[in-house]
Structure 1
Amino acid sequence: MAHDWVEAFNRHDLEAILSHYAESVELTSLLATKVLGDPAGTVRGKPALRAYFANALAAAPDLKFELLDVFTGVNSVAVYFRNSIRGLQIEIMELGADGRITRVLVHHRDP
């Protein structure tokens, strides 16, 4: 799953990226606090996530991810990767029964 997710981002293939997410997904990120102007920094629902990712991909045409490691848990994965723009990141992803991502907590290394 993590390899396909990274490859979808590297191709900037919005539909392939979104195929990994549940309709009711929630993504929380420090970057989202700035983009959304909301201190909670949470994107709720697949339509909102589509808009969030579409804007991010348009703003960063050279964005690439390098997968460094994947950690598995009970109904979850932690994806450790290098973002060509923001540096090292870890995304903790909770997975639904169908394997789609239902919740994401994005972590960035402090600058």
Structure 2
Amino acid sequence: MTPQEASAFAHDWVASWNAHDLDRIMEHYADELDFRSPIIQQLGADPTGVIRLKTELRAYFADALGRYPTLRFELEQVLPGVDSLVLYYQSINQLQAAEYMELDPAGRVRGVRAHYTRATPPSAN
């Protein structure tokens, strides 16, 4: 994945979330996937934190959008890889997020590993 492709994907992904456009969000994902996130557990979508079907992912995202009506992501960095990318962004509730996304040959997300931490100001050393 070129840096330009990764950047275009990331900016469209963030814009679709910030627009709360569920159909547009879902266009980024494959029908079968392996999506892992602690937020899945926190929202009660699945106790294992894993979603494997796009229909289940859509329900999870719809619930999240309903719970966070002012949801807005702020993209901070895009790291392109081989058929993958990492998005580093400001998420909900003052969380910093890093999502590793693996893409299928059609450029849709087939694997996600989401990681979160509280945003902290840089230390003055």
TM range (shorter): over 0.9
Deviation sequence 1:37-76 (CA, Å, 0-9, x none): 51x2001110000000000000100000000000011110
As a proportion of its length, which structure holds more strand?
1
Equivalent position of 2:88 in the other structure: 80
Equivalent position of 2:117 in the other structure: 109
Does the Cα contact within 8 Å between 2:95 and 2:118 map onto a contact in 1? no
Structure 1 moving runs of 4+ over 3 Å = none
Does the Cα contact within 8 Å between 2:94 and 2:118 map onto a contact in 1? no
Deviation, structure 1 residue 110: 5.2
Distance in 1, Cα, partners of 2:92 & 2:116: 12
TM-score, normalised relative to structure 1: 0.93
User: Aligned in 2, Cα 1:46/1:60: closer, same or farther, shift over 3 Å?
Assistant: same
Matches within 5 A, 1:37-76: 37-38=46-47, 40-76=48-84
User: Aligned in 2, Cα 1:83/1:110: closer, same or farther, shift over 3 Å?
Assistant: closer
- Describe the SS at the equivalent of 2:93: coil
Aligned residues: 110
Deviation, structure 1 residue 36: 2.6
Distance in 2, Cα, partners of 1:10 & 1:53: 13
The structure with more radius of gyration: 2
TM-score, normalised relative to structure 2: 0.83
Distance in 2, Cα, partners of 1:59 & 1:21: 21
Unaligned runs of 5+ in 1: none
Distance in 2, Cα, partners of 1:25 & 1:15: 17
